[in-house]
Amino acid sequence: MNRKALNALLAAAAISALAVAPSAASAQWAPADEATIHPGVMTFTDGAQCTSNFVYQDGSSVYLGQAAHCSGTGGATETNGCDSGSLPIGTEVEINGASQPGTLAYNSWLTMQAKGETDSNACAYNDFALIRLNSADVPNVNPSVPGFGGPTGVGAWGGTGSTVYTYGNSSLRGGVTVLSPKQGTVVQHTGGGWSHDVYTATPGIPGDSGSGFLNSSGGAIGTLSTVQLAPLAGSNGVGDLPRELAYMRANQAGFSGVQLVPGTEPFQGNVVGAVLSGIGL
């Protein structure tokens, strides 16, 4: 076979591989309407209630994201990740919809402390953790965000006034699912790009910590970190997910290959539709 023919054959094979890659990648996930584990399920770390953001994977390991402060051992005002206490890696985490506890596998606070981080913005706003799922529960996972679909991948933040979407599932809502999907607006960027203040129709409340934020294209951009009291009362401080992921990959051994898993369901930025789908309409 001559070189030209060989190159043509290899190109055809590459195109064929790309064509089947999405189906092969999504075949391992449970159907979205049957999955018991997905973005937005509640997590409980030593009793502390939080909301998961997105699904992540590295080889056979599958993770749910949550906020680092969900495993914090200090008071509510101890939010500096470079000096606040945390439960250790390996701590069991209860996950709604899972048959077995997951385990705390990564915590940005512990990594920053081990590294001796001196960047004050990273210390204040890098608030990200991963829970490794028990292998028995992986077949029950779907990476799609309830109601909205997506994420379409890791996205980028827009400017002031841009639209964002989030799904908070705190038990303090008493099971009122119509309040879980929310649309919001970016009001300012702070912390040298590590944090973003956002107003949503109903603000995130305790128990929503860690929940994921999507941009108007369905890209995963943030994780809920704080409920703001000043200067923007009622807003939420949202950590910058692209920065948090880049920090983890660069500074935590064994996590350089962790990737966000795109949803199997198409993204639709329609909060009314998300609410109706959540109540079965």
Q: Tens of pLDDT along 248-279? A: 999 999 999 999 999 999 999 988 878 677 64
8 A C-beta contact, residue 101 and residue 37: no
Confidence of residue 22 (pLDDT cuts 50, 70, 90): very low
Mean per-residue pLDDT for 127-139?
A: 98
- Find the domain containing 87 and state its range: 42-140
For the chain, how many structural domains are there in total? 1
pTM above 0.85, yes or no: yes
pLDDT value of position 202: 66
Structure token pair of residue 204? 């995130």
The distance in angstroms from the start CA to the end CA of the chain is 59
Angle at 156 between CA 125 and CA 225, to 5 degrees: 25
Does residue 172 have a pLDDT over 70? no
Mean per-residue pLDDT for 51-59?
A: 97
pLDDT value of position 166: 93
Lowest mean pLDDT among 54-58, 73-77, 229-233, 254-258: 229-233
For residue 190, the surrounding DSSP H or E stretch is strand 181-190
- Indicate the Cα dihedral angle 71, 75, 76, 79, nearest 10°: -70
CA-to-CA distance for 7 and 181, rounded, in angstroms?
49
- Kindly state whether residue 65 falls inside one of the protein's structural domains: yes
pLDDT value of position 200: 87
- Kindly state whether residue 246 falls inside one of the protein's structural domains: no
CA-to-CA distance for 118 and 128, rounded, in angstroms?
17
- Kindly state whether residue 56 falls inside one of the protein's structural domains: yes
- Kindly state whether residue 27 falls inside one of the protein's structural domains: no
- Kindly state whether residue 88 falls inside one of the protein's structural domains: yes
pLDDT value of position 26: 47
- Kindly state whether residue 196 falls inside one of the protein's structural domains: no
- Indicate the Cα dihedral angle 213, 191, 127, 255, nearest 10°: 90
Confidence of residue 233 (pLDDT cuts 50, 70, 90): low
CA-to-CA distance for 167 and 277, rounded, in angstroms?
13
Does residue 13 have a pLDDT over 80? no
Instruction: Classify residue 218 as exposed, middle or buried by CB count within 10 Å of its CB (0-12, 13-18, 19+).
Output: buried
pLDDT value of position 8: 41
With a CB cutoff of 8 Å and minimum separation 6, the contacts of 255 are: 58, 106, 130, 248, 249
- Indicate the Cα dihedral angle 153, 157, 161, 163, nearest 10°: 10
- Kindly state whether residue 191 falls inside one of the protein's structural domains: no
8 A C-beta contact, residue 102 and residue 93: yes
Q: Which long-range contacts (CB under 8 A, 24 or more apart) does 81-85 make?
A: 81/108, 81/109, 81/112, 81/113, 81/117, 81/122, 81/123, 81/124, 81/126, 81/127, 82/109, 82/112, 82/113, 82/117, 82/122, 82/123, 83/113, 83/123, 84/109
Instruction: Give the chain's mean pLDDT.
Output: 86
- Kindly state whether residue 97 falls inside one of the protein's structural domains: yes
Does residue 44 have a pLDDT over 80? yes
Question: Within a 13 Å sphere around the CA of 35, how many CA atoms are in the beta-carbon half?
Answer: 24
